[in-house]
Amino acid sequence: MNILIIGGGGFLGQKLAHRLEAAGQLRNSEITGLTLADITAPGAVAAPFAVKTIACDITDPAAVSGLLTARFDTIFLLAAVVSSHAEAEFEVGMQVNLHGVLNVLEAARLTETVPVLVFTSSLAVFGGEVPDPIRDWTIPNPQTSYGTQKAIGELLVNDYSRRGFVDGRALRLPTISVRPGRPNRAASSFMSSIIREPLNGEEAVCPVDPDFAHYYLSPRMCVQNLIRGAEVAAADLGQNRTMTMPGRTLTIRQMIDAMTAVAGPNAAQLIRFEDNPAIRNIVTGWRFAYDPAKALALGLQADNSFEDNVRYYLEDDRPA
């Protein structure tokens, strides 16, 4: 089992690499190699199998073809320009999120192998005038360029799979919280900051009001679901290889209450509410009521509670 993680330098890619290292196998097959590729060479991961790290710009078709000359049984395609970035810089978003994904699929098409390919899509594909809850057969009607590019990726993964070029699975990620590290250009970045920074003893700004509701998943469960996504039998996927990862819907207030329940009342004092129309306009266009029936039937899972998400952050990610 030779595995490639494109976007292997990001926090999800790194967590996934560590989880694969700990498991030692995927689809009941011993892992013999792991390659982590990203725009700059990712951090290495110590493992009992060979781990390579490679710098690869997915907007460069030749670089992607070169990367895929190695025979990979499973590819995790996590690389992307995030939502606010793709909204602010249209051409960059199109190059990475549309043409980059096409470059990977085309390179895979032109190899002899048919890798399992797990593509991370996003809830940002949903929006506009569609009835709640969002079901597996609800139209992606994105109201951002990022969501548009992800929805296109889903369609491509489906068609390249139907034609037998890859064995693809497109998993729509809920907002990941509590995400480790520093704030990024995802419009959803604050949904981790308002928990992470206070738990680290730092101030955080919340750009929407406490009643704002959203759909969340912990990094730990997200990684588990990515692996499950790679393990589902192709025959069980039916005629649409896209599914929404199970999550939990909470308001900002409920997230903060969960943090208080786990870590005491002081952390919440570090949150300042300050309206930010640019962020608010993006995230209030997203939807928060989902029925992820297909993913649940295939064994993907939500967290038990947001209290768990807070605990996972403290256990897995809080700086020492």
Q: Which stretch binds a copy of itself (CB under 8 A): 14-22, 140-148, 174-182, 219-227?
A: 140-148
Cα separation of 265 and 100, whole Å?
45
Instruction: Establish if 42 lies at the interface with a copy of itself (CB under 8 A).
Output: no
Exactly one of 23, 44, 139, 278 binds a copy of itself (CB under 8 A); that residue is: 139
> Is 146 one of the catalytic residues?
yes
- List the catalytic residue out of 146, 215, 290, 313: 146
* Dihedral Cα 20, 22, 28, 32, nearest 10 deg: 70
CA gyration radius for the chain?
19
Q: Residue 29 in 3-state DSSP? A: strand
Please give the C-alpha separations between residue 217 and each of 112, 169, 223, 267, in angstroms, as whole numbers.
36, 19, 10, 21
Instruction: Establish if 301 lies at the interface with a copy of itself (CB under 8 A).
Output: no
What crossing angle do the helices spanning 306-316 and 252-263 adopt, rounded to 10°? 50
Exactly one of 21, 57, 89, 136 binds a copy of itself (CB under 8 A); that residue is: 136
Q: Which stretch binds a copy of itself (CB under 8 A): 14-22, 144-152, 206-214, 267-275?
A: 144-152
Please give the C-alpha separations between residue 233 and each of 169, 178, 259, in angstroms, as whole numbers.
10, 30, 37
How many positions of this chain bind a copy of itself (CB under 8 A)? 27
Cα separation of 2 and 220, whole Å?
23
Instruction: Establish if 162 lies at the interface with a copy of itself (CB under 8 A).
Output: yes
What are 34's strand-pairing partners? Answer: 3, 51
Count of residues for the chain? 320
Question: 39: buried, middle or exposed (CB in 10 Å: 19+, 13-18, 0-12)?
Answer: middle
Q: Nearest approach, Cβ of 37 to a copy of itself (angstroms)?
A: 24
User: Which pair of tokens denotes residue 256?
Assistant: 């903060």
Q: Nearest approach, Cβ of 303 to a copy of itself (angstroms)?
A: 26
Q: Nearest approach, Cβ of 203 to a copy of itself (angstroms)?
A: 34
Q: Nearest approach, Cβ of 14 to a copy of itself (angstroms)?
A: 31
Exactly one of 81, 156, 221, 282 binds a copy of itself (CB under 8 A); that residue is: 156
Exactly one of 65, 111, 113, 141 binds a copy of itself (CB under 8 A); that residue is: 141
What are 217's strand-pairing partners? Answer: 176
Q: Which is nearer to a copy of itself, 163 or 274 (CB)?
A: 163
What part of residues 80-109 is at the interface with a copy of itself (CB under 8 A)?
A: 90
Q: Nearest approach, Cβ of 290 to a copy of itself (angstroms)?
A: 14
Instruction: Establish if 137 lies at the interface with a copy of itself (CB under 8 A).
Output: yes
Residue (of 22, 26, 23) closest to 2 by Cα position: 26
Residues that bind a copy of itself (CB under 8 A): 90, 127-131, 136-143, 145, 148, 151-152, 155-156, 158-159, 162-163, 238-240
Catalytic residues, which ones?
A: 146
